[in-house]
């Protein structure tokens, strides 16, 4: 079938984790023509066969974005700065624009209605805000509509929820949740696209208002930690009072409320076994369980451990960049070892990659040369002369442009005096002018 004969699917948020997963799954299926929608198509021409501008803050851009599309995948970002009060407005405008454009099948990424499930006891705007759009989708009159539900991302456990140094010297988590209660529906968000692509391919089975949750595992926090520790980690958990946690950093109150809801009602809020089974059937495969994902993505740090990096073996163009597996070196007395959570990209990157920085700083770089001039993460080891930081501290800063201290790495070895502490509640990407490590 030529691309002209394939139905066109337009994907909102194509550069994000959910939208990106959908784009990749649709491309892999080969059944559809894909239109990636982004606010800046000029920067992302490689994403799909078509890359078109769409900005949920500018509804006038959606008419052209949806023109000729058979299906639309719609997702909104509650956490994006300035959008918390606009999510329903954005999504409603997108639904109406899709209907006006003649779209036949809308897939909406929703979440459980926490207020309804809990009888008003818990309030989670980032969940219920999405659930409020469900009725609007149902009443819009699409030929087909589907609801997909993203889980608690596995990726959170190496990002915003990464283990931290605790007061007793251990590394792990201190959270307001009973670790024995099995209540967290989890999954690899990179696999959500399989469900979405399957729903578009099988509207007779999944296009009549079905709810399709992505669930790779259903665990308690103790089970999460046991899984990781069986793989060689030594993580701990301590339950803390919700009131104390809620006052610990900006935004902590809603996090505490979220864990309280999980413990009382589970992430999905009801017995969802039938919906999960249907989602897996529609996806055509079982999602990855946490143990398998952690084995590949939650590396154990050992004295002779290895790390994935993006490095070059000689200065030159972008074609010199390669993913390599290198050993984790011993840190020097004035250095720290950082588990990288985000790495920056900037207009200066070509100057480093092509050797200009090495020339002007009079350095003799070593190869393989690890790229990445700035980043953020959590300290996992400190040199004997380092007094400014300790294990578990969250930091951000710059590399030394010597090929050894770059941030395009699972673990970065950096000079302590080039780092600064990161305040609680501020995500790593807000400090490392950056993106997640998409290469790794």
Q: Give the 3-state secondary structure of residue 134.
A: helix
Q: Which two structure tokens, joined as six digits, stand for 181?
A: 């209660």
Residue with tokens 């070196």: 329
Residue 278's pLDDT is 98
Short-list 371, 373, 310, 377, CA closest to 346: 373
CA–CA distance, 301 with 315 (Å, rounded to integer): 30
Mean pLDDT by 10 residues, the chain (440 residues): 82 96 97 96 92 95 97 92 70 97 98 97 94 97 98 90 84 95 98 98 98 98 96 92 92 94 96 96 98 86 74 93 89 90 88 88 86 90 87 85 88 92 55 34
Q: Are 389 and 382 in contact (CB under 8 A)?
A: yes
- For residues 79, 80, 83, 89, the Cα torsion angle rounded to the nearest 10 degrees is -80
What pLDDT is recorded for position 437?
35
Domain extents for the chain? 299-435
* pLDDT score for 423: 62
Model pTM?
A: 0.75
CATH of region 299-435? 3.90.180.10
Contacts of 416 (CB under 8 A, 6+ apart): 334, 335, 336, 382, 383, 386, 388, 389
Give the pLDDT score at 3. 64
Angle, helix 192-201 to helix 273-283, in steps of 10 degrees: 80
pLDDT at residue 440, as a whole number: 32
- CB–CB of 68/103 below 8 Å? no
Cα(14)–Cα(20) distance, integer angstroms: 5
Q: What is the model's pLDDT at position 394? A: 83
């Amino acid at each position: 079938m030529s691309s002209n004969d394939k139905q066109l699917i337009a994907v909102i948020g194509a550069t994000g984790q959910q939208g990106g997963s959908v784009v990749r799954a649709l491309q892999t299926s080969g059944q559809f023509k894909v239109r990636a929608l982004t606010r800046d198509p000029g920067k992302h021409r490689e994403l799909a066969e078509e890359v078109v501008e769409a900005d949920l803050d500018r509804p006038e851009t959606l008419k052209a974005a949806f023109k000729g599309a058979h299906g639309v995948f719609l997702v909104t970002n509650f956490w994006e700065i300035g959008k918390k009060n606009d999510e329903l407005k954005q999504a409603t405008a997108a639904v109406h624009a899709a209907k006006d454009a003649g779209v036949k099948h809308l897939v909406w990424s929703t979440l459980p209605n926490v207020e309804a499930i809990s009888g008003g006891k818990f309030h989670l705007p980032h969940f219920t805000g999405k659930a409020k759009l469900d009725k609007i989708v149902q009443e819009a009159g699409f030929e087909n509509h589907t609801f997909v539900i993203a889980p608690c991302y596995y990726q959170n456990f190496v990002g915003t929820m990464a283990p931290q140094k605790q007061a007793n010297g251990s590394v792990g988590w201190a959270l307001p949740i009973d670790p024995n209660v099995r209540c967290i529906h989890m999954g690899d968000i990179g696999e959500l696209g399989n469900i979405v692509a399957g729903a578009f391919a099988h509207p007779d089975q999944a296009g009549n208002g079905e709810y399709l949750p992505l669930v790779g595992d259903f665990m308690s926090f103790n089970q999460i930690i046991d899984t990781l520790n069986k793989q060689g980690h030594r993580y701990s958990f301590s339950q803390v009072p919700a009131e104390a946690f809620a006052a610990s950093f900006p935004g902590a109150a809603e996090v505490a409320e979220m864990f309280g809801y999980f413990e009382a009602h589970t992430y999905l809020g009801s017995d969802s076994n039938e919906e999960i089974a249907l989602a897996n059937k529609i996806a055509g495969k079982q999602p990855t369980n946490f143990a398998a994902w952690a084995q590949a993505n939650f590396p154990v740090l050992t004295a002779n451990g290895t790390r994935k990096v993006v490095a070059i073996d000689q200065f030159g163009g972008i074609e010199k960049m390669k993913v390599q597996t290198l050993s984790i070196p011993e840190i020097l007395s004035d250095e720290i070892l950082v588990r990288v959570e985000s790495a920056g990209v900037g207009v200066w990157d070509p100057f480093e990659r092509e050797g200009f920085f090495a020339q002007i700083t009079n350095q003799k770089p070593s190869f393989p040369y690890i790229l990445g001039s700035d980043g953020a993460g959590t300290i996992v080891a400190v040199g004997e002369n380092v007094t400014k930081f300790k294990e578990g501290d969250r930091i951000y800063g710059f590399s030394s442009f010597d090929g050894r201290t770059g941030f395009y790495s699972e673990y970065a070895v950096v000079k302590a005096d080039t780092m600064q502490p990161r305040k609680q509640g501020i995500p790593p990407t807000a400090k490392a002018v950056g993106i997640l490590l998409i290469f790794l």
